[in-house]
Amino acid sequence: MAGNSFGQAFRITTAGESHGPGNVVIIDGVPPGLPLEVDDLRADLARRRPGQSHIVSQRSEADEPEILSGVFEGRTTGTSLAILIRNTDQRSRDYTDIKDKYRPGHADYSFDAKYGFRDYRGGGRSSARETSVRVAAGVVAKTLLREAFGGVVCGYVVQVGEIRAEVPDPAAVDPAAVETLADGEPNLVRCPDHEAASRMVSLIESVRKQGDSVGGVAEVVATGVPAGLGEPVFDKIKADLGKALLSLPAVLGVEYGVGFGCASMRGSEHNDLFTTDPETGAITTTSNRHGGMLGGITTGQPLVLRAAVKPTSSLPIEQQTVTSDGQATTIQTRGRHDPCLLPRFVPMAEAMVAIVLADHYLRWRGQTGTFDR
């Protein structure tokens, strides 16, 4: 199957299915000498794994990573880096009753249309289980960004259903506030506006009790990114970021900067005016409606992106569908599913943004040298 690899200079290739033995990622292009241990991978994997709270899927996966190659004595070797995450809590029996039925909102029909048959256990290759190894690769990418230019990628939830968070300055969001509430308790929904977060949790609990699900929006901000990354035509950094986020399961829309808000603005309102930083003398802009990218190339301003994530398609309530031979029927999806995907989506989105930035940094370095010019 084509389409299992992403990136050029920093390139990931993944393999695995929802109910297979596990998922693996091979990362090519990792520079030698980056500090990397298994422990470094665990934090982001814990943020993505199922079973971490009562408002996510209760599938019990430890998501314990195994580094198979590319690291020696705590540093990357520069050769291909392979990371394996085994599946340990599959319940394939949950899907036996619906193996010949098409689940609304899922890839069941489109897989049959493409391949002529499918792995009906969970989502197979299209399952979000595959994103576990993307998150692991994202840790490697984040390490490269930090070591190369002090880059930081931070994601968080800004909307669940109709509830919207107030985030006045995305670049100033404290990652600690995304993970922990003021009283020290875990921030289950990963929203830095803690008052909104409380209402989001209540909404998720409510739709779960109804046997339903709810969608929302995640925002990702990359700070410390220098000007000059990206290409002016097909490989615009905004295009690669869009593809990266849209490649994640359940993403239906991506925007950056003011996004679709630009449609109702005048040019004089939308333009970010150039100025010079009085302290550093660096060229900057007085605002950041362009989301840190102009002409497909980074400007040095924070990169600000948002992804719209649909409600979970697997529902325990009865829905109409058809069988694989076209007979009308009904379906109720058993198994353990998230009533809202947003809390676990955040580290996935961070990983894909970091992978794109790592790729474009290495491409920039290979073409033009270093940032010291």
- Domains of the chain (ranges, CATH numbers): 5-257+292-368 (3.60.150.10)
What confidence score (pLDDT) does residue 93 get? Answer: 58
What confidence score (pLDDT) does residue 369 get? Answer: 73
Burial status of residue 358 (CB atoms within 10 A of its CB: 0-12, 13-18, 19 or more): buried
Nearest to 248 by CA among 327, 329, 330, 305: 305
Averages of pLDDT over runs of 10 residues in the chain (373 residues) are 90 91 96 97 92 75 92 98 88 69 87 83 80 97 97 98 97 96 95 98 95 96 97 97 97 97 96 93 94 97 98 89 91 80 96 98 88 51
Q: What is the pTM of this model?
A: 0.94
Q: Can you state the angle between helices 342-368 and 237-246, rounded to 10 degrees? A: 150
What confidence score (pLDDT) does residue 373 get? Answer: 44
State both tokens at 6: 């992403």
Give, in order, the Cα–Cα distances in Å from 104 to each of 87, 108, 321, 328: 25, 8, 7, 13
What confidence score (pLDDT) does residue 60 get? Answer: 65
| E-assigned strand segments in 131-269 | 152-160, 163-164, 216-223, 251-256
What confidence score (pLDDT) does residue 371 get? Answer: 55
**Secondary structure (DSSP) of 250-273:** TEEEEEETTGGGGGG--HHHHPPP
